[in-house]
Amino acid sequence: MSFRPVDLPSWFRFQLSGRRVLRQALREVAALPTAASSPERTAVQAQVGLRLARHLRMQVQVSGLTHIQSEPYLVLALHEGIADVLALLHLPLPLRFVARDEIFRWAGVGKAITTLGHVSITPESGASGYRKMLAAARDVTAQGESLVIFPQGTVLGIETDFQRGAFALARHAGLPILPVVLTGSHRVWDYPFTPTLRYGQSIGLHVLPPITRDEVRTTSPDLLRVQVRRAMKRAALDPELPSPRRYDPERDGYWDGYRFDIDPDFSALHHLMTTHRARRTEARP
């Protein structure tokens, strides 16, 4: 993990204050008691998140907050990069996040997100991973917090499909779904594609109407996945929002061996990836 400020003024800003702001954030989280309460964790998380966002001069365009009620949700957000977390802290909800297990091994960061009670997931773990997620969802929401999942499971771009697991999880845990559209965050730090760090980027955060518990209970996870996916991506492509990240395999690589699918609504890219994977399968001895 590394940062490379995009220009000389940004480099000076990062060297003079960025490293200090990041170290201070990690120290504040580390100072939390082991048995910190949900309000204590939420307060510290909000403070350090706001400080980091201000340092990065993130310009978050927030809309749709009137859709949010005072209840725990399964928050489903589009995913473009690490800055998504800082943007989502603008929601008036206590949040815990689901993140890939590898992030919990990052120096400094891993310890901090563990202290804050975020949830580690190994996408390749199958049924055992799902059971762990279900237990975590019930525990988090029982404490009045909302759990954030990125249903694409990747930061490749808007063309990646939603995975079914998040919708099955909502049904089994009896949770309403809060869809949150995020666009433009990849321009802050497009990890893992480039270490480039940019200041002053515009990010769109648009909250769609929630899917109620009754709707989750009475709609099949497969149908709900398609309905929510289409609504969120339609909103993300609205020209009023900062443009989302787009996946280009020639530029970004094909990521063979990683678990992701292309949304069939993006037919040209879906066909390209299907053909590529079929050829790889045929080429195997």
* Each residue's pLDDT tens digit, 35-85: 889 999 999 999 999 999 999 999 999 999 999 998 999 999 999 999 999
The count of other CB atoms within 10 Å of the CB of residue 248 is 12
Name the pTM for this structure.
0.94
| Residue 188 CA: distances (Å) to CA of 5, 10, 60, 121, 198 | 10, 12, 12, 24, 5
Give the residue carrying structure tokens 């809309």. 63
Q: Which fold has domain 4-248?
A: Glycerol-3-phosphate (1)-acyltransferase (3.40.1130)
Residue 273, phi then psi, degrees to nearest 5: -70, -35
Question: In the structure, what pLDDT confidence band is assigned to residue 114 with cuts at 50, 70 and 90?
Answer: confident
| Residue 242 CA: distances (Å) to CA of 51, 187, 234, 235, 246 | 22, 10, 13, 11, 12
- For residue 150, pLDDT over 90 is answered with yes
| Residue 229 CA: distances (Å) to CA of 136, 160, 165, 181, 200 | 23, 10, 13, 10, 29
- For residue 237, pLDDT over 70 is answered with yes
pLDDT of residue 1: 61
Which range has the top average pLDDT, 40-44, 114-118, 227-231?
227-231
Q: What are the structure tokens assigned to 237, written together?
A: 């492509």
User: How many residues comprise the chain?
Assistant: 285
Best CA proximity match to 68, nearest among 196, 171, 195, 210: 210
The answer for residues whose C-beta is within 8 angstroms of residue 144's C-beta and 6 or more apart is: 38, 72, 94
Lowest mean pLDDT among 105-114, 121-130, 245-254, 256-265: 121-130
- For residue 123, pLDDT over 90 is answered with no
Best CA proximity match to 150, nearest among 111, 197, 95: 95
DSSP letter at 146 equals E
In angstroms, the CA 190 to CA 155 distance is 9
DSSP lists the bridge partners of residue 138 as none
Measured between its terminal Cα atoms, the distance across the chain in Å is 36
Mean pLDDT value across residues 149-158? 96
Lowest mean pLDDT among 14-23, 51-60, 106-115: 106-115
Query: Hey, is 237 helix, strand or coil?
Result: coil
pLDDT of residue 124: 66
Q: Where are the domains of the chain?
A: 4-248
The count of other CB atoms within 10 Å of the CB of residue 32 is 18
Best CA proximity match to 247, nearest among 165, 186, 206, 177: 186
pLDDT of residue 91: 97
The count of other CB atoms within 10 Å of the CB of residue 27 is 12
